[in-house]
Amino acid sequence: MSTTADLAATIRELVHANRILAHEGVVDAFGHVSVRHPHDPQRYLLACSRSPAIVTAADIMEFTLEGEAVDARGRRPYAERPIHGAVYEMRPDVNAVVHNHAYEVVPFSVSGAATLRAITHVSAVIGATVPVWDIRDKFGDTNLLVVTMAQGRDLAATLGGGRVALMRGHGCVVAGGTVRAAVNTAIYLRVNAMLQQQAMQLGDPQFLSSGEIERCVELQLSALALDRAWEYWSARAGCSAL
Ligand code: MN
């Protein structure tokens, strides 16, 4: 594949990721998904400031890891792009990042009593424990948005080597090796939150063991599973018409 075709394919997949996350209720007017630039690991691609539900290829902008637009052409970027740059900076293994405020996930960011944990095989990708980052710990009273690289780096430190971190009173950040892996994890993070809340109403849930998580993740992040899920979500979101 030529480098131009390669970039076009990456942008196309990123547009589909936007539409899928919107259709699956992970993002609404807010939230975003990015991908590391296929030719330059020091840059990433992210839509301009609009809902993922209506993002097209023309909206995809290129940024340095510090969040500077390479060629803005009048497009306005998302304020919270430091979330993406800081994760790419710290994690060479990460090539896609999702930030969202899924309503089902947020309660677990504010309840010290209930920690989000993997409850079913398809959501094992969220990991054995999901850390919670609180912007107030280091930055005091803010509007809770991650708008500086210092805030982004602090959030990335809480994410550590994992795939998911919750953001207190705000939402979450999800990291993946590919766009498909990150989208998969973001969707099943929301599913896990719904199921865990229901299970907790019934009693004391039994969570997956770390050995089970390891085996489930291997399957769930295999190309076979990721491609099958992607085909399904793409069809639901009407991506073939784009
Ligand atoms: Mn946000």
Query: Residue 63's domain spans which residues?
Result: 3-231
Residue 65 falls within a domain, yes or no?
Answer: yes
Question: Does 143 have pLDDT greater than 90?
Answer: yes
Residue 9 falls within a domain, yes or no?
Answer: yes
**Measuring CA to CA, which residue among 1, 72, 6 is closest to residue 35?**
6
56-99 pLDDT per residue, tens: 999 999 999 999 999 999 999 999 999 999 999 999 999 999 99
- Give 118 Cα–ligand 1 centroid separation in angstroms: 23
> What is the pTM assigned to this prediction?
0.97
- Give 74 Cα–ligand 1 centroid separation in angstroms: 23
- The radius of gyration computed from the CA coordinates of the chain, to the nearest angstrom, equals 17
Residue 113 falls within a domain, yes or no?
Answer: yes
Question: Does 115 have pLDDT greater than 70?
Answer: yes
Q: Which residue type does 209 have?
A: S
Question: Does 1 have pLDDT greater than 80?
Answer: no
Bridge partners of 176, per DSSP, are 96
Q: Is 13 among the residues known to form the active site?
A: no
Active-site residue, from 13, 80, 104, 218: 80
Residue 68 falls within a domain, yes or no?
Answer: yes
State the number of CA atoms in the 13 A half-sphere of 222 facing the CB: 9
**Measuring CA to CA, which residue among 164, 184, 200 is closest to residue 233?**
184
Contact 43, 63 (CB under 8 A): yes
Give the pLDDT confidence score for residue 2 in this predicted structure. Answer: 66
Residue 238 falls within a domain, yes or no?
Answer: no
Residue 16 falls within a domain, yes or no?
Answer: yes
Residue reference for tokens 């896990």: 192
Residue 241 falls within a domain, yes or no?
Answer: no
Average pLDDT score over residue span 184-212: 97
- In order of 69, 83, 84, 125, the CA distances from 78 in angstroms are 11, 10, 11, 27
Range with lowest mean pLDDT among 24-33, 105-114, 191-200, 205-214 = 105-114
Specify the CATH number for the domain of residue 9.
3.40.225.10
Residue 20 falls within a domain, yes or no?
Answer: yes
Alpha helices in the chain, H assignment, sequence order: 3-23, 82-90, 107-110, 136-139, 149-159, 179-202, 210-220, 223-237
Number of domains in the chain: 1
